[in-house]
Amino acid sequence: MPESTPGNKGLFWKGREMFDLIWDLIQQSRISNLQSEADSARAASRTTDARVAELERTVESLTLMTMALGELLAQKGVVSSEEIEARVRDIDLSDGKLDGRVATSPRVCRKCGRMIAGDRVNCLYCGVLMDQDRP
């Protein structure tokens, strides 16, 4: 059994200080990585918020145009609003579901060859953008 001498005790404390220093460096590195990830997530969130705002403006604009066209067609006696509503219902039901959505047929991914729902923007399996596949 080695005796506990002042020299041994000094070595112990130097080892402990070294351990603490290394531990602090590892923790600082982890904190730095997490801050970096948080910055990236904040940037992605801002991009998503901007995209959602753009889509909301587009939907509002399309809604206005659709309402204007419907009213003009009704005013000019081309079709009645009931005929337009019936046509909307027929188109909605074309996929067997009255859900307020337009049916899109499934597509084959150009990269991985799997079948993907027609309304997906990117492939569920490989992630490739599907919009470029549209004719």
- Residues within the interface to Zn ion (CB under 5 A): 109, 111-112, 123, 125-126
Q: 82: closest CA among 74, 72, 93, 92?
A: 74
Which C-beta is closer to Zn ion: that of 62 or that of 112? 112
Answer whether 85's CB lies under 8 Å from 94's CB: no
Rg (alpha carbons) of the chain, rounded to whole number: 31
Torsion of CA 56, 60, 66, 70, to 10 degrees: 140
Q: CB 118 → Zn ion: shortest distance, Å?
A: 14
Q: CB 134 → Zn ion: shortest distance, Å?
A: 15
Kindly give the residue spans of alpha helices, DSSP state H, lying in the chain. 6-75, 81-92
Which C-beta is closer to Zn ion: that of 44 or that of 112? 112
Which C-beta is closer to Zn ion: that of 62 or that of 108? 108
Q: CB 101 → Zn ion: shortest distance, Å?
A: 23
